[in-house]
Amino acid sequence: MPVVVALGPVDRPIVEGHLGADHVLVSDPSAADLAVAEGAIVRGNVTVDRAVFDSMPQLRVLARTGVGTELVDLDVARERSIPVVITPGSNTNAVAEGALAMMLHLTKNLAPLTVLVREGRWDERENHSLGDIDGSTVGIVGWGRIGQRLGLIAGALGATVRAFDPVASIPAGIKCETLAELLAVSDVVSLHAPLIESTRHMVNDESLAGIKPGAILINCGRGPLIDIDAVHRALLSGQLAGVGLDVFDEEPPAIHPIMSDPRVVMTPHVMGLTQKSAAQTYADAADGIRAVLEGKAPAATAS
């Protein structure tokens, strides 16, 4: 029976259920397991370079949970005609809700207000202003599945939605022609663009100089979309009023001064890993592997 290895922790019952009884799943594989593996499920934080591909000479398909493939050497996969399955849509709602949660946390000043109550400083509550999503402008960078879902939710809460994406088709009424245009008008900016060379550090000193003063910045996309030093400087200057980060340049990240600022909320790249979305991601990855091993086309692969 074909051996499928897990590179990173997966939900074994879900994966086995979708692979079926004709395939063997090996968690924590040894070198011998890798040598005979015909399929591999790769978690998002695992790097698959040429050496890893070399360790799996029988590999016929690799499935990456999620859609980002920057840690997979796609050139090697193409050289060896190995399709790289991705799982678009499995965590769309989860990430959109996570971005919204960060927006609300920062807009409503939940962290400092919690401290006031905890420390018996009730009379200081007037010192902390609360904002609203209703009536604000929410700017979304990246108009894919997650960006569109977030736009729908934010709009339902009464926000004016604007979006920038140099590739995707965006309705004329909300489209911004440039990132600078979006930053200048948005009270909240949420990043959901893919990480490619043109988007690396797209939020930097230059772009932040033109952001609406007092804006909130959320990054639930890819860590390197922002220059974290530039973001920290904008926060210290007051150009930014709050920052939400679920992703970082390196994961786990090195300690950075921005982490000690009470206007920053952080999570360890888990906004797409709700119970529901994680189950769907594992199911979709296993379905993609099974399809290829059975000579069928998977639902989605990396380009």
d(CA 10, CA 179): 37
Q: Which parts of 37-178 fold into alpha helices (H)? A: 50-54, 74-79, 92-107, 110-118, 145-156
| Total Cβ atoms within 10 A of residue 248 | 20
At 269, list the tokens. Answer: 């790249």
249-270 burial code (b ≥16 CB/10 A, e <16): beeebeebebeeeebbbeeebe
At 197, list the tokens. Answer: 């060379």
251 is catalytic: yes
Side-chain half-sphere exposure of 256, counting CA atoms within 13 A: 19
d(CA 153, CA 189): 14
CA distances from 138 to 52, 225, 232 (A): 41, 18, 21
Phi, psi (deg, nearest 5) at residue 38: -105, -15
Considering the candidates 23, 232, 269, 290, report the single residue annotated as catalytic: 269
d(CA 197, CA 267): 25
Is the Cα torsion angle 44, 273, 87, 264 positive or negative in sign? negative
Residue the block writes with tokens 């400087």: 233
Considering the candidates 23, 149, 222, 290, report the single residue annotated as catalytic: 222
55: alpha, beta or left? (left if phi > 0; alpha if psi -120 to 50):
alpha
Considering the candidates 251, 256, 290, 294, report the single residue annotated as catalytic: 251
* Interhelix angle 145-156/92-107, nearest 10 degrees: 50
269 is catalytic: yes
- Residues annotated as catalytic are 222, 251, 269
